[in-house]
Structure 1
Amino acid sequence: MQIHANRSTCIGAGQCVFAAPEAFDQDDDGIVLVVGAEPASADEIARAREAVQVCPSRSLRLLETA
């Protein structure tokens, strides 16, 4: 599974960082940065899914990898 963020639509709400701090951060302008693009454990995957769901600008997505 890989995490993708659309930085051009991010509004800097920071909900992703609260939900999954091991996967997300924000730059100096508050825009999302993916720091853990491939969640490894079941807990990390669950937190990444939560981050995708709570993102107000829908700038995050998870892609299943083979």
Structure 2
Amino acid sequence: MRVSVDSERCVGAALCTMTAPGVFEQDDEGVSGVIPGSEDGAGDPKVHEAVRVCPVQAISVVVE
């Protein structure tokens, strides 16, 4: 699995960081991203929930 966040689309709602804090983080400007080293989803079962709750569909998951 490969998780990514489209930083151009992200509006900083922080729902991903609240849902899967071990995978997502926010920068100083409030834009979410994947924590370095967690691009594989870090075994967190809530990654798919974070995708679902993102209000602008900025998160993508590709199953490899």
Same fold (TM over 0.5): yes
Tell me what 2:60 maps to.
Answer: 61
In 2: Cα distance, 1:19 partner to 1:37 partner? 16
State the percentage of identical aligned residues.
32
RMSD: 0.9
Structure 1 residues 1-66: aligned runs within 5 Å: 1-35=1-35, 36-41=38-43, 44=44, 46-65=45-64
Task: Show CA shifts across 1:12-51 (max 9, x none).
Answer: 000000000010000000001201111243xx0x210000
Residue ranges of structure 1 left out of the alignment (5+ in a row): none
Residue ranges of structure 2 left out of the alignment (5+ in a row): none
Moved more, 32-41 or 51-60: 32-41
- Does the residue aligned with 1:62 lie in a helix, a strand or coil? strand
Aligned length: 62
Using the TM superposition, give the Cα deviation of residue 60 of structure 1 relative to its aligned residue in structure 2, in angstroms.
0.3
**Normalized per residue, which structure has more helix?**
1
TM-score when normalising by structure 1: 0.88
Going from structure 1 to structure 2, the CA distance change for 1:39 and 1:5 (only over 3 Å counts) comes to: same
Amino acid corresponding to residue 38 of structure 1 in structure 2: D
